[in-house]
Amino acid sequence: MSGYLNGLLALLCIDVMFAYGVFLPVMTGQINLGGAGFQALGGYVAAWLATTYDCPPWMTLPLGALAGAVAGLAIALPLARVRGVYLVLATIAFGQLVTGLILASPSLGGAQGIAVPSFVGLPVILPLTLLVIVACFYLCATRLGLAMRAVHDDEAVADLMGVSARAMQVVSYTLGGAIVGLSGALYAHQFGFVQAQGFDETLSVYVLLYVLLGGVQTAWGPMAGTCCFVLIPELLRNVLPGLAGMVAAIFGLPIGEVKIDDSWRLVILGAFTVAMMIWRPQGIVTRTLIEHLARPLGVFAKRRAA
C-alpha cells in the first residue's frame, strides 16, 4: 500500500473514531461542541507519557482514553443540572480551556507542540476503529442504548418511564470522551506530533457536522458522514481542478489557473449543511433508509411478522 493511501486511511480511521465519540452525546439529544478539546487531551496525555516516562503505546493509548473519559465525566456531572444550550456552551468552554491550558504551560511545549517518539501504524489503528464501531453498534442494540435513544426522543417521557435522563447524559459524555481521547492518542502516535493549535474550535464544528449530516438515528450515520466528507474532498482535490479547467475551456472563460483550495471545500460543506437542514435534517442515513436497503435481504421480514 502506498504511503499516501496509508496515511489517508489512518486519518480516516481516527476521524471516524472521533465522530463516534461525538455521536454518543448526540444519541441522548446533547451536542458536544468541544470534541477537539477531548482529542487534544487524549493526544497530549499520550504524548506527554511517551516523552517523559517512555511509556509504550499499549499504556499510553488506554490512559489517553481514560483521560478523555474522566474529562467527559467531570464536565457532565456538575453540569447535569443545567440543560439544553448550557451544556453545549459548557463543551465549547471545555474545548477552549484545554487548548488554552496547553498553550499556557511551557512544560507541554506551549505553542510549539510535542514530538512523539513511538509510532503506531494502521495495523493497530484499523482494528481499534473497527472495535469502536462494533461497540457502538452493540451499544445501540442494548437496553442502555435504547434508554439513551429514549432520552433523545423525549426527556420527560423517558424520565416518567424510569430512565434517568441525567444519568444517560453523563454516561454518554463519559463514553464519548473516552472514545475521542483514544482517537487523540492514536493521532499523536500516528503523526508523531501534537500541537494545541491543531485542535481548535473549527475541528469540533467539522466533526459535529459530519455526525449530524451522516444521521444520528442509527450507528451507521457517523461512519457515513465522516467517509463522505473526508474521502470525497480527497477525490475532488484531484478531479475538480481538471473539470473546472475543462468547463472554462468550453465557455472560453479567461480562467488561467483554477485553484481549488481548502476554502472551497468548506464552502461546499457549509452549503451542504444548509441544504440538508432544509430538506433532510435527520441526516443521510436514517432508520427507514436502512430498512429499505435491508428489505431485499429479508433481515426485517421475520421481525415484522412477529
- Selected binder of another protein within 209, 224, 230, 285 (CB under 8 A): 209
Q: Is 69 in the site for another protein (CB under 8 A)?
A: no
Q: Residue 100 has which C-alpha cell?
A: 488554552
Give the range of 43-51, 163-171, 185-193, 263-271 binding another protein by CB under 8 A.
Answer: 263-271
Q: Is 293 in the site for another protein (CB under 8 A)?
A: no
- CB burial of residue 262 (10 Å; 0-12, 13-18, 19+): exposed
Q: Is 198 in the site for another protein (CB under 8 A)?
A: no
If binding means CB under 8 A, how many residues of this protein chain bind another protein? 47
Q: Residue 227 has which C-alpha cell?
A: 467517509
What are the Cα distances from residue 268, in Å, to 176, 244, 296?
28, 15, 34
Q: Is 255 in the site for another protein (CB under 8 A)?
A: no
Q: How far is the CB of 67 from another protein (least distance, A)?
A: 17
Q: Is 239 in the site for another protein (CB under 8 A)?
A: no
Q: Is 130 in the site for another protein (CB under 8 A)?
A: no
Q: Is 201 in the site for another protein (CB under 8 A)?
A: yes
Q: Whose Cβ is closer to another protein: residue 136's or residue 211's? A: 211
Phi, then psi, of 260 in degrees rounded to 5? -95, 105
Contact between 186 and 120 under an 8 Å Cβ cutoff? The reply is yes
Q: Is 306 in the site for another protein (CB under 8 A)?
A: no
Q: Is 2 in the site for another protein (CB under 8 A)?
A: no
- Cα separation, 142 vs 82, whole angstroms: 27
- Selected binder of another protein within 27, 71, 175, 269 (CB under 8 A): 269
- Selected binder of another protein within 65, 90, 108, 182 (CB under 8 A): 90
Q: Is 197 in the site for another protein (CB under 8 A)?
A: no
- Selected binder of another protein within 31, 63, 170, 182 (CB under 8 A): 31
In the 8-state DSSP scheme, what is residue 42?
H
Q: How far is the CB of 93 from another protein (least distance, A)?
A: 5
Q: Is 263 in the site for another protein (CB under 8 A)?
A: yes
Angle of helix 3-27 relative to helix 201-214, nearest 10 degrees? 80
- Cα separation, 172 vs 166, whole angstroms: 10
Q: Whose Cβ is closer to another protein: residue 11's or residue 89's? A: 89
Contact between 179 and 68 under an 8 Å Cβ cutoff? The reply is yes
In the 8-state DSSP scheme, what is residue 242?
H
Number of Cα atoms under 13 Å in the Cβ half of residue 71: 32
- Cα separation, 72 vs 25, whole angstroms: 10
Q: Whose Cβ is closer to another protein: residue 59's or residue 272's? A: 272
Q: Residue 224 has which C-alpha cell?
A: 457515513
Q: Whose Cβ is closer to another protein: residue 179's or residue 212's? A: 212
Which stretch of DSSP H or E encloses residue 214?
A: helix 201-214
Q: Is 299 in the site for another protein (CB under 8 A)?
A: no
- Cα separation, 54 vs 261, whole angstroms: 39
Residues of this chain that interact with another protein (CB under 8 A) are 29, 31, 78-79, 81-86, 88-90, 92-94, 96-97, 99-101, 103-104, 110-111, 152, 201-202, 205, 208-209, 212, 261, 263-264, 266-267, 269-274, 277-278, 281-282
